[in-house]
Amino acid sequence: MDKQTLNVAFATQKGGSGKTAITVLVASYLHYNCGYPLAVIDCDFPQHSLYEMRERDSRAVLENEYLKRMAYEQMREPGRAAYPVQKCRVERAPDMAAELAGSGNYDLLFFDLPGTVNSEGVISSLAGVDYIFTPISADKVVLESSLSFAAAIHKLLVRNEACRLAGLYLFWNMVDGREKTDLYTAYDKTIKELELPLMKTFIPDTKRYKKELAADKKTVFRSTLFPASRPLVRGSNLEELITEMMYHIKLQ
């Protein structure tokens, strides 16, 4: 029996929602910590920020002896070599995903998609994934746009038996602990009325989610070449988010 590759996308209607950062953190944790063979397809044209992050990560490793040793030790472990980050135009993403899945080498493919469904090829790419996770934040304009996107995708694709998409899940991102009270309760009620699944885990608004690998530092959080450092993972809710995700996508 051929191994099925799961296609997962962090997608939203608004830029700056943190979808690229979450994509990297989840992919790196599942690959480097848990040993899942995976690849990332960056079709967020024209910036290709995830592909560019891999380029910056590689340069940082070359310029830092500590990181260089870390990379060497990591690559000595079976299955822990760096996962591929492929870039393409969004309309080409389904073909690239088919090629990668056809190799039989990957359990998971992650997609970093453009921040608007108006880009040509986004809808067809979303129709070809198995699960979508949409970060939302408690900004009225951003939230309205994100919920509009999620409701449309849920109606057009999730409820369409002819489509591959099996589920779309929202999760709160960049949550200010001082506001996690009545404001979120009101928004949660609106999401429930729209019959959109909302995950229990929320990601706090913390500077560590903006920390990239740097040649002058030893700690790692957001990187395509290493998993997040254990001290920085504590309190980030990253592991909780991944556990809940794995439950939804039925990843063993």
Number of H helices, E strands in the chain: 9, 6
Residue 191 has pLDDT above 80, yes or no: yes
What pLDDT does residue 173 have?
A: 92
pLDDT bucket at 1, cuts 50 / 70 / 90 = very low
Closest CA to 15 of 108, 179, 149: 149
Gap between the Cα atoms of 79 and 223, Å rounded:
17
pTM strictly above 0.85: yes
Nearest alpha carbon to residue 112 among 241, 10, 7: 10
- Asked if the model's pLDDT at residue 120 lies above 80, the reply is no
- Distance separating alpha carbons of residues 237 and 248, to the nearest angstrom: 17
Lowest mean pLDDT among 8-22, 72-86, 140-154, 231-245: 8-22
Give the C-alpha separation, 198 to 176, whole Å. 18
**pLDDT of 115 strictly over 60:** yes
pLDDT at residue 123 is higher than 50:
yes
Per the CB < 8 A criterion, the answer to whether 206 and 236 are in contact is yes
Between the alpha carbon of residue 112 and those of residues 86, 92, 179, 184, the distances in Å are 10, 13, 29, 27
